[in-house]
Amino acid sequence: MLAPPKVPSPPNVPALPNVPALPNVPALLDVKGLRAGYGETQVLHGIDFAVAHGGVSALLGANGAGKTTTLRAICGMLRRSGDIRLDGARIDASATEDIVRRGVAHVPDGRGTFLELTVEENLRLGAYTRPADEARADIMRMFGYFPRLEQRLRQQAGTLSGGEQQMLAIARALVLRPRLLLLDEPSFGLAPLIIAEIFVILRRIRAEEGVGMLLVEQNASIALDFADQAYLLETGRIVVAGPAEDIRRDEAVRRSYLGY
Amino acid sequence: MMQGVLHQVISGIATGGIYASVALALVMIYQATHHVNFAQGEMATFSTYIALTLINIGLPYWIAFIGAVAISFAIGVAIERILMRPMENAPVLASVGVFVGLLLIINSLSGWLFDYTIKQFPSPFGSGTPLFGGYVSSHELGSTAVTLIVLIAVYMFFRHTRLGLGMRAAAFNPVSARLVGIQVGWMLALGWGLAAAIGAIAGMMVAPIVFLDPNMMAGILLYAFAGALLGGIDSPLGAVLGGFAVGIIENLMGAYVVGTELKLSVALIIIVCVLVVKPSGLLGRKVTSRV
């Protein structure tokens, strides 16, 4: 009997146009088949996405879609399975502290500010894993982005306004000198003017620090303006993926998923 | 009369320093775990026995002192790692059970290893004639100085070192602490070690006055707890001030109001009053936050 003619398997086309396609240059963050949940409840049902070196990927979706869970799963803050690689090295079995020490800074849901401590102590904590002299220089550098923090240095962080706390949270994450910055809804609860100010600063940071970002947002229009790659999450699955530019222009997607 | 009052106040400050140290140890563990370590006193007693053993094998006092502090630190770390770690997510009652069990175990261990007879414990400051016209004994003066040095050192450690900052961060907000790369588990263990070391010093300072037996710290723990509650169980500074205040109140009440027999009830009255009138204590946590 003749063997059936061999059909050449399709070449491994990279699914994500903005992620470097060179086989030997892994993405900054490469996630495949990520599943995670709380206790018995599974929230993420196997999602794939990536962040390029120095690039910005946005995770969009409604409340409860699993955006925050995705960030927590990357940081090892909850039970997860799947393949998570930072610069090619697997981090899906590592503890939170170790993932942080490998250069992943997380500005969590609720900002994670140490409310009882001063602004300065919060910043020193951000640089906890770094040598003291470098930490000091980096904290000074943050005042270039966030001059208001310098004025509030000795103030208890709990007394800052929402916008100032968000700035403190971003500065605290940056003094870690991360390769990857995870941002969980930086616009949450802030006035439109403050949101705009924060995104102006994030653009500067992106240009000057060369840090890759994974941005979780409910405010899709802001996120799509800022990101170069976007993923739409719906109940724990990615339903649309592609360049942010394309998604922004796709009226059907915008209407049915993003509601604007 | 005035001289008598002054004398009582001064010796109240001396015992208050002991209460302040133990109260600080209680608060340190409370801040990190939200549990009161009932075994703190028994741990201090055990440490004092270790010091006495080291002195009895011929070591000079201060070497034995340092040795006992170091061993107590290690025991504190070990207790956290071995006993408390598995209880991390246990319900409150289970943790309370472990603390009470720890109290009984260490108490029995002290009696079993070192027997139950009341022992004398030397003072490094001698028992010479009272100083300053008879107001204060050399041991009271010396132990107050030691207590103050300990309290200042602990304050400086938490305020001005990176490790101290990391421990505070881990206690206030363990989730965020992990996200800046702090090894929260080790910070808790370190806190237990420090609390045990502070308790050891308190034990060695009080033993020359009350004599050493396995139940030496039982009453002191109660006064210290009253002090911690008075100052605010989540405020280290409050606990220290509360400890001193309780020492003075106890001495004055004992001398002029209730008599020495009923002194311990003063501690209970303070505890009840604070819980009824101002549960957060005088310097209880004041976190201001804006939304």
List of chain A residues whose C-beta atoms are within 8 Å of the C-beta of residue B182: 97, 125, 128
Across the interface, of A77, A128, A156, the residue whose CB is closest to B182 is A128
Stretch B153-169: mean pLDDT, rounded? Answer: 92
Nearest CA in chain A to B287: A116
Give chain A's residues under pLDDT 70. Answer: 1-24
Q: A112 and B175: CB-CB below 8 Å?
A: yes
- How many domains, chain B? 1
* Residue B30: inside a domain: yes
Q: A100 and B288: CB-CB below 8 Å?
A: no
Chain A / chain B CB contacts < 8 angstroms: 80
d(CA A150, CA A119): 9
d(CA B164, CA B250): 33
- Strand order of the β-sheet with A104-107 is A104-107, A180-184, A212-217, A56-60, A229-234, A237-243
Across the interface, of B176, B181, B288, the residue whose CB is closest to A158 is B288
d(CA A254, CA A39): 33
* Residue B284: inside a domain: no
Nearest CA in chain B to A125: B180
- Rounded to the nearest angstrom, the minimum Cα separation between A193 and chain B is 17
Instruction: Identify residues of B whose CB sits under 8 angstroms from chain A CBs.
Output: 162, 165-166, 168-169, 172-173, 175-184, 285, 287-291
Nearest CA in chain A to B167: A125
Of A12, A47, A28, A18, give the one whose Cα is nearest residue A85. A28
List of chain A residues whose C-beta atoms are within 8 Å of the C-beta of residue B162: 124, 128, 132
Stretch B65-87: mean pLDDT, rounded? Answer: 94
CATH number of the domain that residue B126 is part of: 1.10.3470
Q: Determine the pLDDT at residue B131.
A: 67
Q: Is the pLDDT of residue B285 over 90?
A: no
Percentage of the residues of chain B whose pLDDT score is greater than 70: 95
Q: Determine the pLDDT at residue A120.
A: 95
Across the interface, of A106, A117, A161, the residue whose CB is closest to B172 is A117
ipTM comes to 0.85
Q: What residues pair up with A215 in beta bridges, in sequence order?
A: A58, A183
Q: A158 and B181: CB-CB below 8 Å?
A: no
- Rounded to the nearest angstrom, the minimum Cα separation between A129 and chain B is 6
Q: What is the mean pLDDT of chain B?
A: 89
* Residue B234: inside a domain: yes
Nearest CA in chain B to A106: B179
d(CA B162, CA B174): 16
Nearest CA in chain B to A178: B180
> Is some CB atom of chain B closer than 8 A to the CB atom of A180?
no
A160-216 confidence digits (pLDDT tens): 999 999 999 999 999 999 999 999 999 998 999 999 999 999 999 998 988 999 999
* Residue B113: inside a domain: yes
Q: A125 and B182: CB-CB below 8 Å?
A: yes
* Residue B285: inside a domain: no
Q: A116 and B285: CB-CB below 8 Å?
A: yes
Structural domain containing residue B89 = 2-277
- Rounded to the nearest angstrom, the minimum Cα separation between A64 and chain B is 21
Q: Determine the pLDDT at residue A1.
A: 46
List of chain A residues whose C-beta atoms are within 8 Å of the C-beta of residue B165: 117, 121, 124-125, 128
Range from A9-18, A87-96, B79-88, B210-219 carrying the lowest mean pLDDT? A9-18
* Residue B135: inside a domain: yes
List of chain A residues whose C-beta atoms are within 8 Å of the C-beta of residue B291: 162, 189
- In a mutational test of the B interface, the residue from A78, A128, A180 whose CB has the highest number of chain B CBs within 10 Å is A128
The CATH architecture of the domain made up of A29-108+177-258 is 3-Layer(aba) Sandwich (3.40)
d(CA B43, CA B135): 32
Nearest CA in chain B to A126: B180
- In a mutational test of the A interface, the residue from B161, B168, B173, B179 whose CB has the highest number of chain A CBs within 10 Å is B179
Q: A189 and B291: CB-CB below 8 Å?
A: yes
Nearest CA in chain B to A112: B176
Q: B173 and A114: CB-CB below 8 Å?
A: yes
B105-157 confidence digits (pLDDT tens): 999 999 999 999 999 999 998 766 666 666 778 888 899 999 999 999 999 99
Of A60, A62, A61, A66, give the one whose Cα is nearest residue A37. A66
d(CA B182, CA A238): 33
d(CA B148, CA A158): 31
List of chain B residues whose C-beta atoms are within 8 Å of the C-beta of residue A121: 165, 168-169
The residue count of chain A comes to 260
Of B172, B185, B186, give the one whose Cα is nearest residue A113. B172
Of B103 and B289, the structure prediction assigns the larger pLDDT to B103
d(CA B117, CA A257): 78
Write a three-state SS string for B30-51: HHHHCCCCCCHHHHHHHHHHHH
Across the interface, of A97, A106, A161, the residue whose CB is closest to B183 is A97
Of B172 and A9, the structure prediction assigns the larger pLDDT to B172
Beta strand pairing call for A56-60 and A104-107: unpaired
Nearest CA in chain A to B235: A116
Quote the pTM value.
Answer: 0.85
- In a mutational test of the A interface, the residue from B158, B160, B180 whose CB has the highest number of chain A CBs within 10 Å is B180
